[in-house]
Structure 1
Amino acid sequence: MADCFFPNVLPDFVPETTQHEQQEIGDTLIKLLSMPYSSLSQHFKRTALDLKETVTLETWGITSQKVSDFTLYCGTLAGVCALGAVAAKYAGNQESLNHYLTPFREIKLSRDLPDELLYGRAGFLWACLFLNNHLGEGTITSTTTRAVVDEIIKNGRALGKKGGGSPLMFEWYGEKYWGAAHGLAGIIYVLMDTELKPDEAEDVKSTLRYMIRNRFPGGNYPASEQDRKSDVLVHWCHGAPGIALTLVKAAEVFGDDEFLEAAVDAAKVVWNRGLLKRAHKLISNGEMHGGDRPFSLFEGIGAPHPANLIDRAVKNVK
C-alpha cells in the first residue's frame, strides 16, 4: 500500500526567545472563554451557544430520537446533553441546564452495548465524568459511573482470557482494535479518569505494556490484533496519535517513566508521518497532527520540558 502521508520537511527544532508564562485561569473551558477582550469573548460564547442549539435541533429535535440513543460522538443524547448542560451552566441558565441534565440521568445502557469510545460504554462514562468535572462531583452518582467501570473491566478481562497476552481486550464488530476510536487506547484513557481498584489499575498498566512490547519497530502501533503486520495508519482513530495521549495519561496517573518514554516515541511517529494525504474528517484522519494534540503531549510530560516538543507543537498549530 502506498504511503498515506506527506514527508514532514519542517526543521526539527528552532530555538526562539523565551516568553513568560501567563497565570493559569481555571480549567480549559474557562480559559477558552477568558479572552483578552471581553466583547470578543462574549461574541464567541454566544456563537457557541447558538451552534449548540443548532446541533440539538438537527440531531435530536427533528429526528425525535429516544432517550436510549446515548452514544457520545455519533448519537444524539449523551454527548449533546452533557455539552448542553455544561454550556448552560457557564451561561448561567439553570432552566436550560435542567433541560439537558434530566434526560441524561434517564439514560439506560443496553446489555449488548460495545465498550468502545465513540458508540459504547466508554463514551457514556466519559460524558458522566465530563459533567462531574464541570458541574460538581456527584452530578452523576458514583454508583452510576462505578457500574459502567465494572462492566467494562468485566468484559475486557473475559476477552483477554481468551488468549493473546493482554489482560484486557475489547471487540467492536468482530475486530480487536487498539486505537482511540474503537479500541484499547480510548477505553483505557477513560478508565484512567476514574478511581480504579488496585487490581484494575494493574490490568490497565499491563495492557499498556503489552501494547508497547508489540508495537512496530518504527514506534507506530497496529490498528488491531488481527492487523499486526500492516504499519500504515497514523490516525487519531488508529495508530500512534491516539495511543500517545493515552500513554501521557498513564504517565500522569501512574507516574511510570516507561509510559512517558513510549509517549515521546509515539509523538515522533506523529511528527514524521502525521501529515496525512486524506484529512477530510473533523475527528478522524489527520486530526492528530494539528490543533492541541502535540501540546497535550508536552503538558503531560512536566518539567523539564523538552524544547523540541514545544517547537513541534507550535509548528503543528501553524
Structure 2
Amino acid sequence: MPRFYPNPFLRNPEALPSVDDVYKKVRDKCVSAIRGLCTYLYERTGSFDWSDLSTYTGISGILFVSLRLRNDEQLVQECRLDRFMNEINTHVAEVFRRRDKSKLQKNISVFTSNYTAPCLIGALSEHHNKHSTLGMEAFSAYVKCAKYAMNEMPNEALYGRIGYLAGLIALSDAGYPVEQETIHLIVENILREGRYLSQKIGKRRGDYEELVQNRPDAPALPPLMFKWHDKFYLGAAHGFAGILLTLLKVHEKLPNALPEGSLEELILPTTKWLCKLQQPSGNWPSSLGESLNRDRLMQWCHGATGIVPLMLRAYKVTGDEEYLISARRGADAIWERGLLTKGCGLCHGSAGSGYALLSVYQNTGDAKYLTMAAAVALWCADYFTHAERTPDRPLSLFEGLSGAISFLFDMLQPGKAEFPLIN
C-alpha cells in the first residue's frame, strides 16, 4: 500500500484555498466537520475502553481535545455540543478516579501512562478554578511522580522522561505552580544520560561511523546521543526531535531550569547535527544505521513532520537562517507527501502534516503555508473518506478522529495553533 496519496492540489493549484477562504469557506467546512465528528464521538462514549487511560491512544487524549473545545463557548453553541460537553465533564472525574499506578515506576510519560495522563487531564480541566479540589488533587498527584524520573527509563516522549516533562510544561502554562527545581533535575538527568551515551560511542572506534554508514559527508558525533530499544531514532515520538524540542521549550519558558552552559554546549550543537542529516528531498531518515539511506516515512513520529517544528524553534532561539531554510524544505516535502493513506490522525496521519505546515506559517508569516494547511484541513474534514484502513484506536487523539478534531479546531485560529503536548 502506498504511504501517501498524490496531492490533488499540486495537480490542480486553482483548487488551493486563498487566504480569504481560510477565514470563510474553510472555517465553515471545519466547523461542520467538528460538529459531525463530535456527534460521532458522543454516540460512542459508552463504548470507551477504560483499560487505556493514556493521551496517545486512550480516553485521556479524547478528553484533552474535548477540554480545548469546551473552552470555546461560541464554538460549543455553534456546533450544538452541550450534551457532549456534559458527558465529557463526567468522564474527566471518572478517568482521574480510575488512574492506575501499577506501572508508574517504569513509565511516567503523559502520552502512555495510565496514571500521569488522567492526572494531567484532571488538572487541566479545572485550571481556571484554583480552588477546585479535583484540579489541585490532580496537580499534586502529577508532580509527585517526578521522583520516578530518576528511575531507569527512556528519555524519549512516548514512554520516557520527555513525556513527563511535556506534561509539567503544560501544567505550568496553565498557571499551576510547577517548581523550577523539579524541571531542572529531570533535564539534568536527560542531559547526563545523553552525554554519557555520546561519550561511550565516541570511545569505541567505528561505532559512530557504522551509525552514519561511513558517509564522508556525515556530521561529527554530537555531544548528546539518545536511543530507544537499541535504535537511534531521529523523530518526535521516540527520538532526538521530541527530546530537543522540549528542551528548547524549557529554555524559552524557564531558562534557569537548564543547567548552565547546556544550551550552547549540548542542546544546540545536537540540534545542528540533526539539521545536517536532512535528506535532499527535505525529509529526514527515521533513525541512524541502515535507515539513514532510506527516505520512506513522512509523519509526525518519524520524518520531517515531527522535525520541522524543532528547526523552527531552533531558528527562533538562535536566529540561524540554516534552521529556517531546513524547516521550509521540510514543509515543502510534507506538502508533496503529507496526505497519508493511514488516515487523518496526528501521529501517522494527515492532521500531523497540517500542524507542521501551520507551524511554518506561524514562524514565517508566509501565507503559502497557511493555504497549504487549509488544504490539508479540507482533506481531513472528509475524515472517513481519506484513509485506506481503520486505526487500531479509531477515536483516539494520536491515531484517530480526536486528532483530526484538534487540527480542525486549530484551523479556526491558525495563528494560535499548537500541536498537542509537544509543540
Q: Is TM (by shorter chain) over 0.5?
A: yes
d(CA) in 2 for partners of 1:114, 1:5: 31
Q: 1:9 to 1:312 in 2, by over 3 A?
A: same
Cα shift at 1:229: 1.2
d(CA) in 2 for partners of 1:299, 1:35: 25
The TM-score with structure 1 as length reference comes to 0.84
Q: 1:67 to 1:99 in 2, by over 3 A?
A: farther
Alignment of 1:301-316 (within 5 A): 301=364, 305-316=365-376
1:279 aligns with 2:339: no
Match of residue 211, structure 1, among 264, 274, 280: 274
Q: Which runs of 5+ in 1 are unaligned?
A: 21-27
Aligned to 2:261: 199
Contact 2:282/2:333, CA 8 A, preserved across alignment = yes
Alignment of 1:1-318 (within 5 A): 3-10=2-9, 11-12=12-13, 15-17=18-20, 33-36=71-74, 39=77, 43=82, 45-53=85-93, 55-56=95-96, 60-61=98-99, 65=102, 68=105, 69-90=107-128, 94-107=132-145, 108-109=147-148, 110-136=150-176, 139-161=177-199, 162-163=201-202, 164=208, 165-194=221-250, 195=255, 196-197=258-259, 199-202=261-264, 203-226=266-289, 227-279=291-343, 282-289=345-352, 292-301=355-364, 305-318=365-378
Q: 1:125 to 1:39 in 2, by over 3 A?
A: same
For residues 171-219 of structure 1, what are the alpha-carbon distances to aligned partners after superposition, in whole Å with 9 as ceiling and x for unaligned? 1110111000000000011101112356321222221221222221111
Residue 33 of structure 1 aligns with an amino acid whose one-letter code is N
Q: Between Structure 1 and Structure 2, how many residues are aligned?
A: 302
d(CA) in 2 for partners of 1:117, 1:217: 27
Q: 1:197 to 1:32 in 2, by over 3 A?
A: farther
Aligned to 1:25: none
Residue 50 of structure 1 aligns with an amino acid whose one-letter code is T
d(CA) in 2 for partners of 1:94, 1:154: 38
Contact 2:311/2:324, CA 8 A, preserved across alignment = yes
Q: 1:275 to 1:77 in 2, by over 3 A?
A: same
Contact 1:290/1:317, CA 8 A, preserved across alignment = no
Q: 1:294 to 1:159 in 2, by over 3 A?
A: same
Cα shift at 1:17: 3.8
User: Relative contact order (alpha carbons < 8 A, sep ≥ 6): 1 or 2 greater?
Assistant: 2
Contact 1:247/1:260, CA 8 A, preserved across alignment = yes
Contact 2:120/2:167, CA 8 A, preserved across alignment = yes
Q: 1:290 to 1:218 in 2, by over 3 A?
A: closer
The TM-score with structure 2 as length reference comes to 0.64
Q: Which runs of 5+ in 2 are unaligned?
A: 24-64, 203-207, 209-220, 379-423
Contact 1:117/1:187, CA 8 A, preserved across alignment = yes
